[in-house]
A and B are shown apart, each in its own frame.
Chain A
Amino acid sequence: MELFPRIPVGEWIEAFVEWLLKAEFIIGALRSVIQFIADDIFHTIFATIPPLLFIILLTAFAAFLVRKSKNYGLPLLVLFGLLFIENLEYWDDLIITLSLVMTATLISVVIGVPLGVWMAKSNTVQRIFTPVLDLMQTMPAFVYLIPAVAFFGIGIVPGVVASVIFAMPPTVRLTNLGIRQVPTEMIEASDSFGSTPNQKLFKVQLPMAKTTIMAGVNQTIMLALSMVVIAAMIGTDGIGRQVYYAVGRNDIAMGFEAGICLVILAIILDRLTQTLNKQA
């Protein structure tokens, strides 16, 4: 085996990361933007609203979503689920986790949808990005923590970055798929009336692909949630940290309480987005 020396893949990537680190002002700007969205926008809003008012507002929103189907399971789930979390005194952790998930989702959509559109328009772009997306999803999520810490230190920002990398692929993939699945006849109809490429995209392709794209966003939210505990390892606050502590202390009670809160949050977010999608 001496014939082939070991290929130093790891060293190459390390060198690449160190090289990237030199671009400090880009990283600084990114950190500020993410920090601003997560802390100053989402967390500030969620923290300003008193828990009970928050619960009532979200329940009312859920009730509004089911006004036609008269299926009141969803608002009841929201109401009792959130009251339960408040009762267990995890509310402060909940809003931090929610801020992390919403920030990661927002960034994933802002980057992922245009990227998905681009992939749908060009087979070459699709060929290039498909393996990249595969890599992003299959690489163990822990691995992203290392460069994330190197670039962004500890706290919510590296947590968001690692979540975005892990959670973005479904939005990209399903945007690409949704646009490619628009029936040819509708594309032809749009073209035959003299639409410009942008008119075709915004008036036909995106509206037609909306349900599929929303399914991707739903998956992104779920994956971002699954990153919460992992992000806690690099100092991201929230429910994830409680789980992480509980594991360290072998605290069954705390571990399960925090775990149940995460499950409730996941189910609520999933059902809300799915119902929202059916509405549209």
Chain B
Amino acid sequence: MAKIKVQSLTKVFGKRPKQAIKLLSEGKSKDDILKETGMTVGVNQASFEVEEGEIFVIMGLSGSGKSTLVRLLNRLIDPSSGNVWVDGQDLATISDKELREVRRKKMSMVFQKFGLFPFRSIQENVEYGLEVQGIEKNKRSTKASSSLELVGLKGYEDKYPDELSGGMQQRVGLARALANDPDILLMDEAFSALDPLIRKDMQDELLELQEKMKKTIVFITHDLDEALRIGDRITIMKDGAIVQVGTPEDILANPANEYVERFVEDVDRSKVFTAENIMVRPETINAEKDGPRVALQRMKDTNISSIYVTKRSKQLIGIVHVDDISKAVHNKETDLTPYIHENVPTVTPETPLHDLFHVSSTSQVPIAVVDEENKLKGIIIRSKVLAALSGNEVTTNGIVS
């Protein structure tokens, strides 16, 4: 069962939301409704599911309704129509008291501008969520301390928020959310107020924490790079509606429509794609059965000047060049082994495109992509690296179109 299930969730800001909902169901756009009725559509019939333990990124430009959507998930904003189920519990029908319980135990939120209380010390800020639950002083102090340690802020307990840098303040925000030990973290543009280098550190740290904690995280951002870096799945929103849901690679490789396409145009693809996405099926010869003649013939057939040599099990041995093999055939030799160059450039399938530039520019031969057992999975030709960067010829299953 999905951790969070959202079905045709709609929020209209205005006096007569029912009228707007009717127009929405007739397929009228956000702009039409604003012109006709003066009401603003915040979220338009959004449906999706968030699985347990994943980082689910909701991304869109400002005004796309993403911040409204995340507030509908913990009912900081009441929906106009539609439902949210958390662990099968319908949030729309529960009492205020039950809602408070859900907020106290199940989900915590991290805010863009941190939302720390300036008159409380760091320790007291982190304890806030526990305090409102009525947990006694000693227990909440212990929990808050371990939460602060988790985000690397041990020793700052007695400072006040304005004495800390932005990055540190957001760590406090994160520690405060984690102190309740919720299943779900809602992060509303949590890193957007930080400068780029700090932001990247925080993203890495979040991923690291996530390895340990396995929370369900709903992360809001307007930054596609950030979405691609941390998201297990990404939802793209426009005008309050969901345009596409998919893995980062889905979104990049198969944009659902022109809007998403324009969005992903500017992405730094070198950070998203890996060797696996651009490698091609290699021509190989088997050193255990093939000799120089077979090798020469295969190179002639496929019009290449060197060929990778593997064992029968596909484990990489090295590469042979056409000049050497021609000589060997000319001298009527039957063994390839003396001509194999074992010093070849290799990368793993997970190596990002970004790191392939250097290897590919210093190597005369195609790069070998090998797995952890040294089996040859594919090769990377220099022209493919450039093609992938320019946005062409990338697929997600390793076979280039």
**B132–A196 CB distance below 8 A:** yes
Q: How far is the CB of A83 from chain B (nearest CB, A)?
A: 37
B180 nearest CB across to chain A (Å):
7
Name 12 extra pairs, CB < 8 A, besides A189-B116, A203-B131.
Answer: A188-B71, A189-B115, A192-B103, A193-B103, A193-B129, A193-B176, A194-B104, A195-B100, A196-B132, A199-B132, A208-B117, A210-B119
B132 in contact with A192 (CB, 8 Å): no
Once A185-B111, A188-B76 are accepted as A-B contacts, the answer to whether A194 and B103 lie under 8 Å apart by CB is: yes
Contacting residues of chain A (195-225) with chain B, CB-CB under 8 angstroms: 195-196, 199, 203-204, 207-208, 210
List of A residues within 8 angstroms of B132 by Cβ: 193-196, 199, 203
Task: Determine the residue in chain B with the shortest Cβ distance to A200.
Answer: B132
- Choose one: B100, B111, B131; the contact of A189 (CB below 8 Å): B111
Contact indicator per residue, chain A 172-188, by CB within 8 Å of chain B (1) or not (0): 00000000000101101
Residue of A186, A193, A195, A196 ringed by the most chain B CB atoms within 10 A = A193
- Cβ of B116: which chain A residues have Cβ within 8 Å of it? 189
Interface status of A191 (Cβ within 8 A of chain B): yes
- Provide the residues of chain B in CB contact with A190, threshold 8 Å: 128
Q: With an 8 A cutoff between CB atoms, is B74 at the interface?
A: yes
CB distance from B104 to the nearest CB of A (A): 4
User: B104 — which chain A residues lie within 8 A by C-beta?
Assistant: 193-194
User: Is the pair B129, A194 in contact by a Cβ cutoff of 8 Å?
Assistant: yes
A185 pairs with B115, CB closer than 8 A? yes
B100-127 to A contact mask, C-beta < 8 Å, 1/0: 1111100111011111111100000000
Answer whether residue B326 sits at the interface, using C-beta atoms and an 8 A cutoff.
no
Interface pair A194/B100, CB less than 8 Å apart: yes
Chain A residues positioned under 8 Å from B129 (CB to CB): 193-194
Are B74 and A186 neighbours in the complex by a CB distance under 8 Å?
no
B133 at the interface (CB under 8 A from A): yes
Residue from B71, B99, B109, B176 whose CB has the most chain A CB atoms within 10 Å: B109
Name A192's closest neighbour in chain B (CB-CB).
B109
Overall SS of chain B's interface: mixed
For the complex, give the distance between the alpha carbons of A183 and B118 in Å.
11
Contact assessment for B131 and A192 in the assembled complex, using a CB-CB cutoff below 8 Å: no
Minimum distance in angstroms from B291 CB to a CB of chain A: 71
Q: Which residues of B contact A186 (CB under 8 A)?
A: 115, 117
Interface size on A, residues (CB 8 A): 18
| Contacting pair A191 B117 (CB below 8 A) | no
CB neighbours (8 Å) of A203 from chain B are 128, 131-132
Give the residue of A188, A195, A207, A210 whose beta carbon is less than 8 angstroms from that of B111.
A188
27 contacts between A and B (CB under 8 A): A183-B113, A185-B111, A186-B117, A188-B76, A189-B109, A189-B111, A189-B115, A189-B116, A189-B117, A192-B76, A192-B103, A192-B107, A192-B109, A193-B103, A193-B129, A193-B132, A194-B99, A194-B100, A194-B103, A194-B132, A195-B132, A196-B100, A196-B132, A199-B132, A203-B131, A203-B132, A207-B117
- Tell me whether A193 and B180 are in contact (CB under 8 A): yes
| Cα of A203 to Cα of B119 in the assembled complex, Å | 10
Checking B99, B108, B118 against A193 with a beta-carbon cut-off of 8 angstroms, the contacting residue is B108
Q: Which 4 A-B pairs have the closest CB atoms?
A: A194-B104, A189-B115, A194-B103, A193-B129
Nearest Cβ in chain A — how far from B71, in angstroms?
7
Chain B: minimal CB distance from A188 (Å): 5
Return A205 CB to nearest CB of chain B, in Å.
Answer: 11
Cα(A203)–Cα(B186), bound, Å:
23
Q: What 0/1 pattern do residues 126 to 146 of B give for CB contact below 8 A with A?
A: 001101110000000000000
CB of A184 to closest CB in B, whole Å: 9
A80 to B375, CA, bound (A): 92
CA distance A194 to B71 in the complex (A): 14
Q: How far is the CA of A210 from the CA of B109 in the complex (A)?
A: 26
List the B residue with the shortest CB-CB distance to A197: B96
In the complex the two chains form, what is the Cα distance from A191 to B76 in whole Å?
A: 7
B23-81 residues with Cβ-Cβ distance < 8 A to A are: 71, 74, 76
Q: Which residues of B have CB within 8 Å of A189?
A: 109, 111, 115-117, 128
B99, B102, B115, B119: which contacts A188 (Cβ < 8 A)?
B115
Q: With a CB–CB cut-off of 8 A, which chain A residues contact B101?
A: 194
Q: Which of B254-285 contact A (CB under 8 A)?
A: none
A192 to B176 Cα, complex, angstroms: 11
Q: Is the CB of B119 within 8 A of A208?
A: yes
Taken together as a complex, chains A and B put the C-alpha atoms of A109 and B100 apart, in Å, by 32
CB distance from B200 to the nearest CB of A (A): 24
Which residue of the partner chain A has the closest CB to B134? A199
CA distance A210 to B133 in the complex (A): 24
Whole-angstrom distance from the CB of A163 to the nearest CB of chain B? 32
Minimum Cβ distance to chain A for residue B159 (Å): 18
CA distance A22 to B180 in the complex (A): 58
Chain A 241-267 interface mask (CB, 8 Å, partner B; 1/0): 000000000000000000000000000
| Contact B103 A185, beta carbon cutoff 8 Å | no
> Which residues of the partner chain B approach A207 to less than 8 Å between Cβ atoms?
117, 119
User: Please, which residues of chain B bring their CB within 8 A of the CB of A195?
Assistant: 100, 132
The CA of A191 and the CA of B71, in the complex, are separated in Å by: 11
Closest to B101 in A: A194
Bound complex: CA A186 to CA B128 (Å)? 12
Question: Across the interface, do A185 and B133 meet the contact criterion of CB distance under 8 Å?
Answer: no
Bound complex: CA A188 to CA B108 (Å): 11
> Which A133-182 residues sit within 8 Å CB-CB of chain B?
none
* Inter-chain contact A192/B108, CB cutoff 8 Å: yes
Which of chain B's residues have a CB closer than 8 A to the CB of A196?
A: 100, 132
| B102 / chain A contacts, CB cutoff of 8 Å | 194
Looking across the interface, which residue of chain B has its beta carbon closest to that of A193? B129
Residues of A within 8 A of B107 (CB): 192
The B-contacting residues of A in range 54-84, CB under 8 angstroms, are none
Shortest Cβ gap from A199 to chain B (Å) = 5
Q: Which residues of A contact B186 (CB under 8 A)?
A: 192
